[in-house]
């Protein structure tokens, strides 16, 4: 993506909600690992699950014209849903979602930290997260490099993200942790945000179909 690309509005549902779910997922995993190990063993856990170098993610390429058209399509859909107007479903490809991520405007964005793809009806994310951003001295200068596959669903205006498999530093997260992780909804905090709620209430269904994220409004044309 070139420097000419215009960045989307901060707080956009599709950037601030759908995309950041993967970040919340891996941060939660890091927290669970910390809870289940004694403090003196944390150094070993950190060495096993983190690295000192960031993982290179696939490059994102989209022309400024295509990206501008994508922004307009999302804005029209979002405004139509909020206004309760009949709208056709919005389908986003992985390339389009990754373009939104790559346009992150500040250091707190997911630019260079997350790459999304779709696989067999599920969302998959490759991640390289600088753990120093958490403020923990023991993980300063270390990265959580990994990938996750999870189901996405929407019911009665509530978004649900159910992790199915997680790999960190090339190692699957132990099943003893995955049992608890699969029972958690990692979208809960996001769906309570006003910007997200106003859009979610107008949606009927959210699914991964034909390698696209398909968002179906309640008022369908």
* Containing structural domain, residue 26: 13-217
Q: Say how many domains are in the chain.
A: 1
CA of residue 42 relative to chain centroid, distance: 27
Is the confidence at residue 86, as pLDDT, over 60?
yes
Asked whether residue 157 is assigned to any structural domain, the reply reads yes
Tokens of 205: 């269904």
Whether residue 1 lies inside any domain: the answer is no
- Of the pLDDT bands very low, low, confident and very high (cuts 50, 70, 90), residue 41 is low
pTM of the predicted model as reported, rounded to 2 decimal places: 0.71
pLDDT tens by residue, 109-166: 677 888 889 887 788 888 887 877 666 677 788 887 888 887 778 877 777 767 788 8
Q: 116 or 169: whose pLDDT is higher?
A: 116
Quick one: tokens of 101?
Answer: 């991520």
**Dihedral of alpha carbons 125, 55, 189, 100, sign:** negative
The 10s digit of each residue's pLDDT in 156-166 is: 777 776 778 88
Judge whether 8 lies within some domain: no
Residue at 101 is within a domain = yes
The pLDDT of residue 27 is above 70? no
> Exposure string (b/e) for 45-73, b if CB count within 10 Å is 16 or more?
ebeebbbeeebebeebebeeeebeebbee
- Report phi then psi at 55, rounded to 5: -90, 130
Residue 5 in any domain: the answer is no
Percent of all residues in the chain with a pLDDT value above 70, rounded to a whole number: 67
Residue 118 lies in a domain: yes
Measure the CA–CA gap between 161 and 101, rounded to whole angstroms: 19
Q: How far apart are CA 28 and CA 197, in angstroms?
A: 22
Classify residue 2: in a domain, yes or no.
Answer: no
Question: Is 14's pLDDT higher than 50?
Answer: no
Inter-residue contact 29 to 37 (CB < 8 Å): no
Q: Give mean pLDDT, residues 59-82.
A: 91
Q: Is residue 114 part of a domain?
A: yes
């Amino acid at each position: 993506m070139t420097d000419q690309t215009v960045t989307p509005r901060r707080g956009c549902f599709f950037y601030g909600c759908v995309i950041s779910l993967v970040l919340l997922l891996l941060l939660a995993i890091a927290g669970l690992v910390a809870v289940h190990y004694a403090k003196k063993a944390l150094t070993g856990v950190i060495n096993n699950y983190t690295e000192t170098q960031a993982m290179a993610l696939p490059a994102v390429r989209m022309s400024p014209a295509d990206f501008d058209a994508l922004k307009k399509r999302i804005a029209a859909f979002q405004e139509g849903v909020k206004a309760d107007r009949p709208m056709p479903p919005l389908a986003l490809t992985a390339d389009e979602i990754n373009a939104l991520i790559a346009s992150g405007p500040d250091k707190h964005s997911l630019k260079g930290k997350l790459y999304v793809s779709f696989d067999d009806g599920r969302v998959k994310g490759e991640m390289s997260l600088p753990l120093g951003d958490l403020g923990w001295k023991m993980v300063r200068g270390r990265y959580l490099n990994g990938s996750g596959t999870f189901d996405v669903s929407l019911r009665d205006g509530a978004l649900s993200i159910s992790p199915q498999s997680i790999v960190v530093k090339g190692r699957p997260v132990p099943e003893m942790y995955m049992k608890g992780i699969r029972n958690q909804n990692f979208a809960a905090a996001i769906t309570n945000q006003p910007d997200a709620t106003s859009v979610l209430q107008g949606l009927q269904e959210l699914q991964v179909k034909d390698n696209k994220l398909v968002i179906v409004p309640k008022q369908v044309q």
